[in-house]
Structure 1
Amino acid sequence: MRLKGKPMILSLVLLVSGFLISFSYQQTNERPKIVQLNDSQWKQEYYYKKQLLEIEEKNKQLREELKKKREAVQDYESNLAANEQAVSDFVSRKKNLQMLAGELPVQGEGVEVVLRDAEYIPDDDQVNQYIVHERHMHMVINELLSAGAKAVAVNGQRIFKDSYIACTGPVITVDGIQHPAPFVVTAIGDTDVLHASMELTRGVVDQLVSENVDVELSKEDKIEMKARLSAGR
């Protein structure tokens, strides 16, 4: 029995030893191998790395340049928008000034004041006390301008700072152009403000009535006035 047991143990030892040797050999073959490059391969790899670094540096410079150009474009667009707004404001102001100066026609809401000579004249009174005079026209026009009227006209003829109004008998002369009664004074502006200014207690309308002038005051949704040159100036 002892002789049979020893060969069995020896066989088992040899089997285990063979397995360990085979496993060690397999693990040795699976380890990463170190690749050795020759001089030519080293030079080629160095050249590629150098090219890659140069490309990356160039891309970095291009990105910085693109960023600066985008910022410059944004600044240009902002300045352009500001200039466009400035030009638009200038054109709007210029147009308003031209309207005020009468170089352009103007239209808008406002009021209309009609002045007429008195229909009834007592026999023992003077006629001049019952007709419209230039001072009556001045009262109406000055009140409307003080109330914020943007434009004023008499019988459709624009009134300006240098306009001259004179009474010649039964007619009113405006800048050399005669207008018979009734005299229609129109004013463009805030309708409510203009209307209220004329109807103040002891205001213009009350004064005109007290001086025997027939007055009609009305609000108008749309009043049109021609340019200065079209009015014979």
Structure 2
Amino acid sequence: MKGKPLILSLVLFTSGFLVAYNYQQTANIPQMVQLSDSQWEKDYFYKQQLLEMEEKNKELREELKVKRDKIQEYDSKLADSENVVADFVQRKNKLQMLAGELPLQGSGVEVTLKDAEYIPEEDQVNQYIVHESHIHMVINELLSAGAKAIAVNGQRIFSDSYISCTGPVITVDGIQHPAPFVITAIGDSDILYSSLDLTQGIIDYLLSDHVDVEMSKEAEIQMQAKLSAEG
């Protein structure tokens, strides 16, 4: 009989221990947080706002990209327009230079025609002076050789210019010039010089016609704008 109370005590002790252990383990398990309806509504509202903000940001990024592309397109068009304008200005200036509305400079040649220093007594003086025909010959040869601009005694010559001779004086577009007559031409100096200096060419003819000729290549020739008869 003494053994039964001992066994019963042992069973009760073990049961108590198991109950206490299970309670302790249950207490250590995290409990699930229960949210109220108002808390759920707030959480849902904030999430919706966040989604809307993200969507708005996406739209703004796309709009920014479109505007940047447009700005780049405008910049390209502006650059093209500036290039076109610059090209027009350059062509306009070139035409104005050729037309004599603007000064011109560049390399070329200089040809000086002088009346003969010695005139035999038996010959006529008219045979030993420079005439407009001599100047025309030089100008035409220079133009054929590619001269970009020509001047006589600093006065520009154009397609409609007229040259006449009155004794020892040459008149260019109404403006008189005494001898010597300095003809300057802007262009390739080597080509212009060679064209005039050909054997039996213009220079040889002028010398045979009793005209003293001096010719040189020039690194830089300055030509003023078109002069008027009143200037």
Calculate the TM-score normalised by the size of structure 1: 0.83
Trace 1:60-209 onto structure 2 (pairs within 5 A): 60-209=58-207
Task: State the aligned residue count.
Answer: 222
**Kept in 2: contact 1:157–1:231 (CA 8 A):** no
Amino acid in structure 2 at the alignment position of 1:147: A
Amino acid in structure 1 at the alignment position of 2:212: D
- Mean Cα displacement is larger for which, 82-91 or 44-53? 82-91
Cα distance in structure 2, aligned partners of 1:161 and 1:191: 21
Structure 1: gaps spanning 5 or more residues: 1-6
Q: Closer, same or farther in 2 for the Cα pair 1:79/1:27, shift >3 Å?
A: farther
**Kept in 2: contact 1:158–1:231 (CA 8 A):** no
Q: Closer, same or farther in 2 for the Cα pair 1:229/1:114, shift >3 Å?
A: closer
**1:3: which partner in 2?**
none
Cα distance in structure 2, aligned partners of 1:27 and 1:205: 126
**Kept in 2: contact 1:109–1:222 (CA 8 A):** yes
Cα distance in structure 2, aligned partners of 1:110 and 1:27: 110
Q: Closer, same or farther in 2 for the Cα pair 1:53/1:124, shift >3 Å?
A: same
Q: Deviations over 1:84-128 (max 9, x none)?
A: 111111111111111111111222222110001222233444433
Cα distance in structure 1, aligned partners of 2:202 and 2:31: 113
Q: How big is the shift at 1:215?
A: 0.8
Q: How big is the shift at 1:54?
A: 0.6
Q: How big is the shift at 1:204?
A: 1.8
Which secondary structure state, in structure 1, belongs to the residue aligned with residue 116 of structure 2? coil
Amino acid in structure 1 at the alignment position of 2:81: N
Q: How big is the shift at 1:28?
A: 5.3
Q: Deviations over 1:16-49 (max 9, x none)?
A: xx69x85x77765555543222111111111011
Q: Closer, same or farther in 2 for the Cα pair 1:31/1:122, shift >3 Å?
A: farther
Cα distance in structure 1, aligned partners of 2:118 and 2:49: 110
Q: How big is the shift at 1:166?
A: 1.1
Trace 1:43-54 onto structure 2 (pairs within 5 A): 43-54=41-52
Cα distance in structure 1, aligned partners of 2:171 and 2:190: 29
Calculate the TM-score normalised by the size of structure 2: 0.84
Q: Closer, same or farther in 2 for the Cα pair 1:232/1:218, shift >3 Å?
A: farther
**2:4: which partner in 1?**
none
> What is the percentage of aligned positions where both structures have the same residue?
69
CA RMSD of aligned residues (A): 2.8
Q: Deviations over 1:61-82 (max 9, x none)?
A: 0000000010011111111111
Q: Closer, same or farther in 2 for the Cα pair 1:25/1:210, shift >3 Å?
A: farther
Cα distance in structure 2, aligned partners of 1:141 and 1:227: 18
**2:3: which partner in 1?**
none
Q: Deviations over 1:162-206 (max 9, x none)?
A: 100012222211111121111111112222222222222332212
Trace 1:4-15 onto structure 2 (pairs within 5 A): none
**Kept in 2: contact 1:118–1:130 (CA 8 A):** yes
Q: Closer, same or farther in 2 for the Cα pair 1:45/1:118, shift >3 Å?
A: same
